[in-house]
Structure 1
């Protein structure tokens, strides 16, 4: 993967570094959010879920408008502005004593992270030829997972000294990237197309709804994200219900470690081989592995079984994620690239709903029913993905089709 950095221009590498800096900042703090809210605001577990889950939902919905801004405003200005919101969000959460302000700062940070994600992906479409974008998406996803693998350990050490230190470290990482991009960022970079007259947000929304391919991928992403968006969350819920706390802790520690290791080792190797020409086959393989992984979860009785199941599940993850980025990149008109990626971000709504739906299933049905439900979401999501990809393959006519 390191050779890829030498292959890309400096402006691309600078955008890629945002994945590591900002995800590390996110991963340092988020695992300890529950403890912080419990100790500082004396909230119960259900209220904490409402605060954290509500902020994620609001941030995901607002990201659609962030995609609209991406198609209207300079990428340089957007990255600086939202990196500033990212930094201020963590500082605000650290110093405020009012829950409603904490919630607003939490929304600010989630919104900023989502918008920067959209801006960076849209910028790759300007900076790289289509053949190179699958590889850069895989590199970026690997960096994101490195951040998620390393961040909680840094956060644990800082939280042990003082619960406010993870927030400060996350703010420092955000500020570091802000200063770096302010000095060396490409001031001419923009996804906006001056040849196209400005269109209102509502009008653009109507355009997106008329794109059958995008609707299929958005619905498919939301449905499948129920299963893979927060999979450690529903595994924890299942194990707490069916086994001892000690076994639950052992399994979750193993699952997180195996997931991060497989992604870091295989993401770039697999991702760079995914091509538009065989997108349907790759998606079928990815969703089949998701399904096998969930079946493995249902049958697991030991830590080794859980490790093997999550390894299979993770290979599906490293196939589907770059494949869906490539699909959106292929169908998005240049002047609406940001909005298309913003619509794709709505799949995060499915991830936020996963633990909620699994909680209801565990409370009202036999424990294994949860896995049947997750398998159904995977199958339904995969069908929508394949419908969108098949329709796109039949109706794509070449570069002119993308500029419609």
Structure 2
């Protein structure tokens, strides 16, 4: 068996930093709505606006951040963003006005949309093409490890101190990581491919949107995110409405979701390396659809456990493959721009809770989960169409080369 070459040290630094910073983020952000409700006495509508502004801003910010990381270099964007992000979290702990919270969470979304494409692009720069699927899998596993540890730490810290302390701790942890990155990144020469004839951001937007494969991949991801966003928005409300112990059931579901990802992500990814990324996406989408159909019949805990397990399998197959498909169609000097443009999928995370909340008013889980199953299923069309356009583009490039 051919031995797999180890990842570059910078890839491990970013993966380790992903666990570190996501633990910090998960200590604070999931509790933002409760913090505003309990300590600031904010109206629920304003809380919704405050929470929703982050993915909304990230939708546009991702493309801008991706463009900047291609134009000016990964290191500059990463280091600038991480220190600004640190002050954003400290600002959460100090803020008193709801409008300041809205502004700060908009900055939070902007920082994430800058930081994510630039760190992903940096890992791509230092990873061989045949190892990138495994690299993205490890990154997604790292996020889920943080997703288990962070909220538990945040809940514990909030119970033994003031509820603002997790925000200050998060800001401090981001600053520490920023200093560490400054030291490490200055020790290595960046391998980024810089375009010899850089173009204006609006020209780049035209170039990216003219890539039909990318457009279809983004549309497919939006539909998936509409469905997946229900896990954090309408599913807890559905459980609270329909079960006496809804909060307990939701905590069980969330813990099980993260545990399954941690346990099965890597073995499933090893198997999925044998098939194409678009086929892995298709399998994942079908698991999503089956899981939401099972939620329709989720009248007790065992059925809910089966449903979330199936949805989680869909998550394991789809999310790492999203980035692989973008990487495969992105030119070497536009990796950050393409990964940033892919952040337009956050449109689904923004409109998903709104659609789900409206469907929930009909009073039956069948409307909610049946519609979500259909919406997610439609994403198969977009990914398959995108893959066909990607194949056609590669064939044209081969002919031009001849």
* TM norm structure 2: 0.93
Deviation per CA, 1:128-182, whole angstroms, max 9, x where unpaired?
Answer: 1100100110001000011111111000011112111110111122012111111
Residue 208 (structure 2) aligns with: 208
Give RMSD over aligned pairs: 2.3
Residue 237 (structure 2) aligns with: 237
2:357 to 345, 356, 359: 359
Conserved 8 A contact 1:60-1:345: yes
1:277–1:257: structure 2 CA closer, same or farther, 3 Å change rule?
Answer: closer
Q: Does residue 266 in structure 1 map to residue 264 in structure 2? A: yes
1:152–1:195: structure 2 CA closer, same or farther, 3 Å change rule?
Answer: closer
* TM norm structure 1: 0.92
The runs of at least 4 aligned residues of structure 1 exceeding 4 Å deviation read 186-192, 398-403
How is 1:351-390 mapped onto 2 (pairs within 5 angstroms)?
351-364=349-362, 366-390=364-388
1:153 and 1:221 map into 2 onto residues whose CA distance is 29
Residue 184 (structure 1) aligns with: 184
Number of aligned residues: 398
Residue 78 (structure 2) aligns with: 79
Shift of 1:188: 5.1
Residue 99 (structure 2) aligns with: 100
Conserved 8 A contact 1:276-1:326: no
Gaps of 5+ in 2: none
Residue 53 (structure 1) aligns with: 52
2:305 to 304, 307, 319: 307
Residue 35 (structure 1) aligns with: 34
Gaps of 5+ in 1: none
Residue 22 (structure 2) aligns with: 23
Report the more deviating stretch, 180-189 or 43-52. 180-189
2:318 and 2:399 map into 1 onto residues whose CA distance is 24
3-state secondary structure, aligned to 1:198: coil
How is 1:115-154 mapped onto 2 (pairs within 5 angstroms)?
115-154=114-153
Residue 392 (structure 1) aligns with: 390
Deviation per CA, 1:268-321, whole angstroms, max 9, x where unpaired?
Answer: 222233348523322221111011110111111111111111111111111111
1:401 and 1:332 map into 2 onto residues whose CA distance is 19
Report the more deviating stretch, 113-122 or 35-44. 35-44
1:38–1:313: structure 2 CA closer, same or farther, 3 Å change rule?
Answer: same
3-state secondary structure, aligned to 1:196: coil
3-state secondary structure, aligned to 2:317: helix
Residue 163 (structure 1) aligns with: 163
2:19 and 2:26 map into 1 onto residues whose CA distance is 10
3-state secondary structure, aligned to 1:42: coil
Shift of 1:330: 0.5
2:81 and 2:128 map into 1 onto residues whose CA distance is 26
1:137 and 1:402 map into 2 onto residues whose CA distance is 31
2:321 to 323, 327, 333: 323
